């Protein structure tokens, strides 16, 4: 079975641009979460979606937004990119939003902002 | 505010040695604790998930323990191999900011196993 997939794998943008990152969860999983991992740090929570509704939001500016589609895939959008947005963006999926379930992570999208 | 700390930040051991990685957290009100492995530039691979009601979990050469009252977890790796070289991350899940869905991560322990 395919795991969590993310696209693109790498991306280079310039300051002020907009970026869209995509995630497909494991088949049958209805919850998707997004994390940002800056070099040398642990991942930080950005958003969780379940059944197309936002279930949680981390401490990130309004430049970050996300949505989940009827097929449970998800997009993360970042506007007005800053140099500090350079990071590995990770998507995780789980069957439901129940806190006792394991989250399975994808390979990530590495974003470089110049 | 939940904070997760991992000690040491880096560890180098010879092949075959048994080793212990440490994780501590400040708020004992957690649903579970999860250990991950991350290879350079890659995503996270889940190793073990310990629910708050459990004391330990085992998978192959890996054993993770949880002492919720003291805010500590350890990951024990037996008979280490060069292929175990990676960064190991500890994460806890609780009710943070009204969300039950997010994991709070430590910064990780970078393990190097020398042949």
Check: CB of residue A76 under 8 Å from CB of residue A20.
yes
Is the predicted pLDDT of residue A49 greater than 80, yes or no?
A: yes
Residues of A in Cβ contact (< 8 Å) with B47: none
User: pLDDT of B48-103, one tens digit each?
Assistant: 999 999 999 999 999 999 999 999 999 999 999 999 999 999 999 987 665 666 89
Check: CB of residue A74 under 8 Å from CB of residue A22.
yes
Is the predicted pLDDT of residue A8 greater than 60, yes or no?
A: yes
CA pair distance B106, B7, nearest whole angstrom: 9
Q: What is the pLDDT of residue B94?
A: 83
- Asked which of A93-107, B25-39, B86-100 is least confident by mean pLDDT, the reply is B86-100
A11 at B interface, C-beta within 8 A:
no
Chain-centroid distance, C-alpha A47: 7
Asked if A106 lies within 8 A of B43 by C-beta distance, the reply is yes
């Amino acid at each position: 079975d395919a795991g969590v997939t993310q696209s693109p794998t790498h991306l280079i943008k310039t300051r002020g641009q907009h970026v869209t990152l995509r995630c497909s969860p494991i088949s049958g999983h209805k919850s998707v979460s997004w994390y940002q991992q800056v070099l040398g740090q642990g991942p930080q929570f950005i958003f969780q979606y379940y059944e197309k509704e936002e279930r949680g939001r981390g401490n990130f500016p309004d430049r970050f937004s996300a949505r989940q589609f009827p097929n449970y895939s998800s997009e993360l959008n970042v506007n007005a990119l800053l140099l500090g947005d350079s990071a590995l963006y990770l998507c995780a999926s789980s069957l439901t939003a129940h806190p006792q379930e394991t989250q399975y992570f994808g390979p990530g999208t590495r974003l470089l902002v110049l | 505010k939940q904070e997760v700390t991992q000690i040491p930040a880096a560890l180098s051991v010879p092949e075959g040695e048994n080793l212990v990685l440490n994780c501590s957290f400040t708020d004992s009100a957690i649903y579970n604790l999860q250990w991950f492995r991350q290879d350079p530039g890659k995503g996270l691979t889940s190793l073990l998930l310990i629910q708050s009601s459990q004391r330990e979990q085992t998978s192959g050469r890996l054993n993770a323990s949880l002492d919720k009252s003291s805010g500590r977890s350890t990951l024990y790796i037996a008979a280490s191999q060069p292929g175990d070289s990676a960064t190991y991350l500890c994460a806890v899940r609780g009710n943070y900011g009204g969300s039950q869905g997010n994991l709070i991560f430590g910064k990780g322990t970078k393990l190097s196993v020398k042949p």
